[in-house]
Amino acid sequence: MKKFDQINVIPFIDIMLVLLAIVLMTASFIAQGKIEVNLPTSKTPAKLEAEDTLKLITIDKDGVYYLKDGGQSEEKIGTDALKTAIDGWQENQRVTLKIDAATPFQHFIAIQDMLKDKKFRVAVLAIPEDH
């Protein structure tokens, strides 16, 4: 058998293509989890505990609802689907509301009505910690 004097680069190219695919997939997942919400400021913000973010309802400036239920990532959800999700929660479940400062107040009232229908007592409002 004859020896080759050249380096075989095909396995190297295969490895680089796999690494490139992994980087591109990871980058797209990271970018999806960011919903831009400009939270209102407060002089006395409350710190959120880990269990406070188990149920997270986010409303962006356009009035679009997002839901994070447990370990899932936040996903866009309609009003009827949100009400169905809330109906499946336990009665004393803590809920965090993250609402953009430019969102019309009616969206906050709609969420509060959904939570009151299920007899939720506590709703934590997310406020930026740097203010």
Q: Which of 69, 82, 77 is nearest to 111 (CA)?
A: 82
The first and second tokens of residue 45, run together, are: 């913000």
Contact between 80 and 49 under an 8 Å Cβ cutoff? The reply is no
Taking only the tens place, the pLDDT of each residue in 10-60 is 899 999 999 999 888 877 665 555 667 766 676 665 555 555 557 888 888
**Torsion over CA: 69, 86, 80, 39 (sign):** negative
Can you give the pLDDT at residue 88? 84
- Which position has the higher pLDDT, 112 or 27? 112
**How far apart are the C-alpha atoms of 67 and 75, rounded to whole Å?**
6
The first and second tokens of residue 96, run together, are: 């965090």
The answer to whether position 61 is within a domain reads yes
Residue 73 DSSP code:
P
Burial class (CB in 10 A: 0-12, 13-18, 19+), 63: middle
Range of the domain at 87: 51-127
Total domains, the chain: 1
The answer to whether position 26 is within a domain reads no
Q: Which of 117, 80, 62, 64 is nearest to 95 (CA)?
A: 117
Q: Can you tell me whether residue 12 is helix, strand or coil?
A: helix
Mean pLDDT within 73-100: 82
The answer to whether position 73 is within a domain reads yes
- Residue that has been written with the tokens 């050249």 in this structure: 6
The answer to whether position 103 is within a domain reads yes
Can you give the pLDDT at residue 16? 95
Can you give the pLDDT at residue 131? 42
Q: Which of 6-15, 73-82, 112-121 has the lowest mean pLDDT?
A: 112-121
The answer to whether position 18 is within a domain reads no
pTM (global) more than 0.85: no
The answer to whether position 88 is within a domain reads yes
